[in-house]
Amino acid sequence: MLLAWEMNSEPLPPVHGAPLRVIVPSFGGARSVKWLESIELRDVPFDGFFQETAYRPLAPGQEAGPGVGMALGEVALNADILASGNGERVPAGTVELRGYAFAGEERQIARVGRSARRQALMAPGRPAGDLGRWAWRLWRADVYLTPGGHEVVVPAWDSAAATQPEDPAHLLNPKGYVNNSRGGVRVHAGL
C-alpha cells in the first residue's frame, strides 16, 4: 500500500482523492480508493457491495450476486499501442509505433512483439528503461507497411513467459473488468 499526496509533482487534486490517496500497487483501480473515511485492518476480504458483488467477473450465464464469480486480484500482463492511432492514415514504408507494457504482480516485461494472429503484423518492440516496480515500460518499434490496410498487434511476454490472450472472448469476463487481451490498431498505409 502506498500513500500519495502529489500527482505529477503537483498537489493531489480533489478529483483524485486530495489531500491523501491510498494506492494498492499492481491491483486494479477498484482497490485504490480515492476518498477514505477510515482505514480498517482485516484478516478476511471486505464484504461490501462493490467487492462482493459488483467488481466480480462472471462466467457466461452467471447472474451477479454476493460471492458469485471471481474476486478481482492483481492486474495481469497488459500492453497496447498508443501511436499510431486506430484508423490513422500513415505513409507506406517504415512507420514507428509506440506503446506501453505492464507485467503486474512481481514479474517484469521480458519482450514485446512477434507472434502470429490472423493477418496481423506483429512488431518487435524495444522496451525503454525500467522505471521500477509497478511502472509501465514504454516501447517503440519500426515496422514496414506496404500500401493498404493493416491490423497491427503488439503483445507482450513477461518474465514467467506469460502472454496476453489473443481475443477477449477467451476471458471469463463479460463485464470487461481486467481485460488484458492483445490490443491493436488498424492503419492504412499510403497517403
Query: Is residue 189 packed enough to be buried (19+ CB in 10 Å), middle (13-18) or exposed (0-12)?
Result: buried
Which pLDDT score is estimated for 177?
76
CATH numeric code, 78-189:
2.60.40.650
Q: What's the predicted TM-score (pTM) here? A: 0.72
Which pLDDT score is estimated for 124?
55
Note the pLDDT tens digit of each residue in 48-90: 888 888 888 887 788 889 999 888 878 888 888 888 888 899 9
Domain with CATH 2.60.40.650 in the chain: 78-189
| Euclidean distance between CA atoms 90 and 82, whole angstroms | 14
Q: CA nearest 99: which of 123, 80, 85? A: 80
Residues 6+ apart with CB under 8 A from 19: 5, 11, 12
Cell triple for residue 7? 500527482
Which pLDDT score is estimated for 89?
93
Which pLDDT score is estimated for 125?
57
| Low pLDDT (below 70) residues in the chain | 1, 29-34, 114-130, 172-174
Q: CA nearest 76: which of 103, 36, 53, 107? A: 103
